[in-house]
Homo-oligomer: A and B are copies of this chain.
Amino acid sequence: MDSRTEQILDFLKTTDGAKNILRKGYLGDGSRRESIAEHMWHLAIWAMLLHREIGFENDLLKTLKLVLTHDLVEIYAGDTYAYDDKGIDGQREREERGAKKLFGMLPDDLGKEFRALWDEFEETKTPESRFAKALDNIQGFAQNCISGGKSWKENGIGKERTFSRTAFPRETDPVFAEILDRLYETADKEGAWGTRGPENP
C-alpha cells in the first residue's frame, strides 16, 4: 500500500477516537453525554440551515470544514469544560501538543491544511471562523437547554454564568440573538439552571 494512503487511513482510524471524547453537555434525552464527533456534526447542520438566515455571503465550504474539525485535537488533549477555570489553565498547551501529534500523522500537505483550519478557528478573525465560533457557542448552549440543564445542574452553573458563553453569538447576528432569547425563555420556564453549592462556589 502506498505510504501516503496508509498515513491517511491511520489518521481516519485515529479520528474514530472523537466518538469517545465526551463533552459535559448531554443528548436531548439526557441518556448520555454528547461526543465531540456528534457536536461537530450538529454544528455543520446548524451552519447549513442558518447561513442564509444571517445573510452569510462568505465561504460555506470553509465554514463546514472549520466546524467539522475544530475539536479534533481533543482526541489527544481531552475536552475542557467551558466553565472550568482551572482546566482552562494549560488548555492551550495540551491542545497544541495534541495538534502536533494528530496532524503530524498526515502527509505534509494534508497535515498543514488541517492545522491551518484549527488555527483559523482558534484565532476567530475570518468571517467563516466567526460564524463557526458563534455556532459552537450557541449549539453548546442549546444542547444544555434541550436536556433540561442536566449538566448545568451537575456543575452548579447558574443563568448568569452562561452569559459569557452566549455574548459572542448574540452580538454576531440578530437571528442568533432571537434564538438565544427563545432558549433562555425555555430554560427559565423549565428551571434548567444550576445553583452554586460548596463544591461550585
Contact of A6 among B6, B44, B48, B182 (CB under 8 A): B182
Verify B16–A20 contact, CB threshold 8 A: no
Whole-angstrom CA separation of A155 from B31 in the bound complex: 26
Interface size on A, residues (CB 8 A): 50
Verify B38–A5 contact, CB threshold 8 A: no
Whole-angstrom CA separation of A28 from B44 in the bound complex: 23
Contact with B along A51-85 (1 / 0, CB 8 A): 00100000011001100110000000000000000
Contact with B along A16-32 (1 / 0, CB 8 A): 11111000000111010
**Oligomeric state, in copies:** 2
- Chief secondary structure at chain A's binding surface: helix
Contact of A16 among B1, B17, B146 (CB under 8 A): B146
Verify A42–B53 contact, CB threshold 8 A: no
Whole-angstrom CA separation of A66 from B18 in the bound complex: 21
* Segment among A89-97, A156-164, A173-181 that sits at the interface with chain B: A173-181
- Contacts A/B (CB < 8 Å), 11 sampled: A5-B179, A12-B45, A20-B31, A37-B37, A37-B38, A40-B41, A41-B68, A44-B68, A45-B68, A45-B69, A60-B61
